[in-house]
Amino acid sequence: MLARFIYRNITINDYFCDMKSILYPALITLINQFQKEYDQIPAERKHILKQLTSFIEKKKKAGAAITLNFICTHNSRRSHLAQLWAQAAAHYNGIDNVACFSGGTEATAFNPRAVKAMQHAGFSITQTKSGDNPIYEVKFAEDSAPVIAFSKTYDDPFNHNKDFAAIMTCSHADENCPLVIGASARIAITYDDPKEFDGTPREEAMYAERVYQIGREIFYAFSQVQ
């Protein structure tokens, strides 16, 4: 894949954030709202999210790198949304050595509707390569290192493929990918696909809803890390 060569000098260390930088104001506004609504997250969801918290805590206490790979079938929507929120949440909570990736059981493209929805949430997203599978640089703070976003399989060499948590963000990938090679933990945190509303009057609202739901739950999981 071309992106693998364009960004071949990027290493896992490039994802470890400078914790001194402050998130963009629009994101801070959303995070403040998330925090007011943590008690609205259902108990069964909190139980699932605790698995993510526990993985992060274990690695943090060991002083080890914390690598998360968010996986859905096409790596086009939910996995990207979760990856970007997770990297922002690590930054916001001052948790060092967190590198977030995403992938699919097949590669397509980071869907432009999802890109637009994340921009509306407050992320700065710049397209650096066009084509069938565009490449984007995503930032959540002015002086943060950009997250490189494009669609890929979960085991693409661009991703860190050893000792990571495989976080399954869609039920189809969870059911049809029983073995995630290289993962030391597997956590199913699944979400409904906003794709179901593409081309309908509810499209924009449902993408915004999914962005918000994923953001609130990911930030909750990171906020519980001791």
In this structure, what CATH number is given to the domain that contains residue 26? 3.40.50.2300
DSSP 145: P
What are 58's two structure tokens? Answer: 């274990």
Higher pLDDT, 206 or 176: 206
Confidence (pLDDT) at 164: 97
Query: pLDDT class for 15, splitting at 50, 70, 90?
Result: very low
* Selection from 61, 97, 100, 72 nearest residue 218 by Cα: 100
Q: Please report the pLDDT score of residue 25 as a whole number.
A: 96
Residue-wise pLDDT tens digits, 69-108: 999 999 999 999 999 999 999 999 999 999 999 999 999 9
Q: What pTM was computed for the model?
A: 0.90
Provide the pLDDT for residue 175: 78
pLDDT (tens digit, 9 = 90+) per residue, 30-56? 999 999 999 999 999 999 999 999 999
Closest CA to 75 of 181, 141, 158, 163: 158
Please name which of 52, 56, 83, 49 lies closest in space to residue 69, comparing C-alpha atoms: 83
With 0-12 CB in 10 A as exposed, 13-18 as middle and 19+ as buried, what is 20? exposed
Structure confidence at residue 58 as a pLDDT band (50, 70, 90): very high
Res 23 pLDDT > 80: yes
Q: Which of 122, 105, 106, 111 is closest to 177 using CA atoms? A: 105
C-beta separation of 34 from 23 below 8 A:
no
Residue range(s) defining the domain that contains residue 67: 2-223
Long-range contacts of 27-31 (CB under 8 A, 24+ apart): 27/88, 27/121, 27/122, 27/123, 27/140, 29/122, 30/121, 30/122, 30/212, 30/215, 31/92, 31/215, 31/219
* Cβ contacts of 12 within 8 Å, gap of 6 or more: 65, 67, 99, 160
Q: How many domains does the chain fold into?
A: 1
**CA 143 to chain CA centroid, nearest Å:** 19
Q: How many CB atoms lie within 10 A of CB 42?
A: 8
Q: What is the pLDDT of residue 140?
A: 97
- Sort 6 into a burial class: Cβ within 10 Å, 0-12 / 13-18 / 19+: middle
- What ranges make up the beta strands (E) of 96-201? 98-104, 124-129, 135-139, 147-149, 164-168, 183-188
